[in-house]
Amino acid sequence: MKRVTPTDQSSRAWGHAIALDEASTTPLFAQIAEALAADVRRGVLRPGDAIPGSRTLAEALGVHRNTVLAALRELEKQGWIRSERARGTFVSEALPELRARAPEVSRGDALFDVSRVHPDVATAVPPGSLPLLGGVPDVRLVPTEALARAYRRALRAPRLLGYGDPAGALVLRRALATMLAHTRGLAVEPDDVVVTRGSQMAIDLVARALLRPGDVVAVEALGYRPAWEALRASGATLVPVRVDRHGLDVARLAELAETAPLRAVYVTPHHQYPTTVVLGAPRRLALLELARRKRFAILEDDYDHELHYEGRPILPLASRAPRSVIYVGTLSKVLAPGLRLGWVIAPPPLREAIVAHRTYVDRQGDHVLEHAIAELAEDGELARHTLRMRRIYLARRDSFVSALREIFGDTLRFEVPRGGMALWAQARGVDVDAWAERAAKRGVYVQTARRFTFDRRPRAALRLGFGALDETELRRAIGMLAKAL
């Protein structure tokens, strides 16, 4: 947490809340002095923090200013605070024993039991380093000027700062429905779309609305752990199903569906995460038929649909079976993950349940931002940006692939991904985790297979992203990766 320093005016501006006891026999000035000293002892006020001016304090506490001045004099006499002419009053920095007594809560002390969580923190990449991470777009290329102008225009409508529709601003739902119809063959109306903060929230809301404790959900393994954890948090029991070079092994899923009543399957058919392969047409049909026959839901995560470079467009499963497929998408890859804009399309009455859960979690999204993005979609800026990024990522993919082949030869074996911002490489005769650690020391970050295995066991494979860096940076990163080998 950022602490207030003597140059920071915010602590003064906030005042300082103290509870006074009118019925006490202790004089008010002594109560104020004792309360401030206690706040220093507890770490609420820290050495160097500014104490609000006596006039502000007196007003806030409803006492005469002289009472506050008497309290401050007492504190200064005892060494808790010091005043500086023309600058104000500060908590003394000469209270060294306080630092040792910072409030401590040990793990066993809390009154409540926290259910098991499976930490999966995103790889922290220090500034200036070279991330070869899978899902990370080059946010330097976001049309921020156009976005800022659109945001400013949206902000001029103060009603957008009030409470709005939890399903998202109508203008954005309309723009997304148009985009989804034209680019993905989805026959959706604006009222079918629920805008979420990224697809992660969409997956979480689906889990809350659809799953009961003990429900069995099949997942791809290798797969996307943050989605698994959202499903688990709603009480689902996950069953891993293997993936191969054609994506999810649907025959295995069919065997599983014979032995366990499946509630849902979570899939990334367009570019399987993390292996990037496209789920083949026969398997798509088999999966849809299986879901219909066994009456389970398909949760389709189409996180980077726009970034497909080769072959004819592949339409989502949802375009064929809108009643059994719950469709999740995001602007995180094609635009920027920090905007937190995604969506979910689900058949009623699931959609209504999702909106209800959204209301409990977050009430609504950022309607100002949603209006701004809708404007970029309506005037064609979003489509132009998407085309531009597709061209750029394709060029980066090709130069990345040829540099990897040139430098690593047979050590890294991979198929050229038909879309996305990453490739999946098998490493021969290398301990990939040790390699990744050494590379990180040199400032290059890669993700190894254990991040994506269901049992967290290592495997000799890596996911290498080429989206976030330009071609010169990619060459530099590969060179450093080679040195770390």
Ligand X SMILES: Cc1ncc(COP(=O)(O)O)c(C=O)c1O
Cβ closer to ligand X: 33 or 176? 176
Which of 11, 31, 276, 330: binder of ligand X (CB under 6 A)?
Answer: 330
Cβ closer to ligand X: 303 or 445? 303
Whether the upstream peptide bond of residue 222 has omega within 30° of 0, thus cis, is yes
Which of 31, 67, 200, 275: binder of ligand X (CB under 6 A)?
Answer: 200
What number of other Cβ atoms are within 10 A of residue 111's Cβ?
A: 4
Tell me how far the alpha carbon of residue 349 is from its chain's centroid: 27
Which residue(s) pair with 451 in the sheet?
Answer: none
Nearest CA to 37 among 102, 88, 81? 81
- 135 lies in the site for ligand X, by CB under 6 A: yes
Q: Which residues between 207 and 266 bind ligand X (CB under 6 A)?
A: 224
Q: Which residues contact 229 (CB under 8 A, 6 or more apart)?
A: 117, 118, 120
Query: Residues of 293-332 as b/e, b for ≥16 C-beta within 10 angstroms?
Result: eeebbbbbbbbbbbbbeeeeebbbbbbebbebbbbbbbbb
- 168 lies in the site for ligand X, by CB under 6 A: no
Report the residue closest to ligand X, judged by CB.
Answer: 198
Question: Which of the stretches 99-107, 183-191, 195-203, 398-406 binds ligand X when contact is defined by CB under 6 A?
Answer: 195-203
Q: C-beta of 301: minimal distance to ligand X in Å?
A: 5
- 49 lies in the site for ligand X, by CB under 6 A: no
From residue 292 to residue 311, the character string flagging contacts with ligand X as x (rule: CB under 6 A) and all else as - is ---------x-x--------
- 276 lies in the site for ligand X, by CB under 6 A: no
Q: C-beta of 147: minimal distance to ligand X in Å?
A: 17
Tell me how far the alpha carbon of residue 354 is from its chain's centroid: 19
- 151 lies in the site for ligand X, by CB under 6 A: no
- 198 lies in the site for ligand X, by CB under 6 A: yes
Q: C-beta of 93: minimal distance to ligand X in Å?
A: 43
Count of residues that interact with ligand X, criterion CB under 6 A: 13
- The number of residues in the chain equals 485
The amino acid present at 482, given as its one-letter code, is: A
Cβ closer to ligand X: 71 or 382? 382
- 272 lies in the site for ligand X, by CB under 6 A: no
Q: C-beta of 343: minimal distance to ligand X in Å?
A: 9
Whether the upstream peptide bond of residue 348 has omega within 30° of 0, thus cis, is no
Where does this chain bind ligand X (CB under 6 A)? 135, 198-200, 224, 268, 273, 301, 303, 330, 332, 337, 342
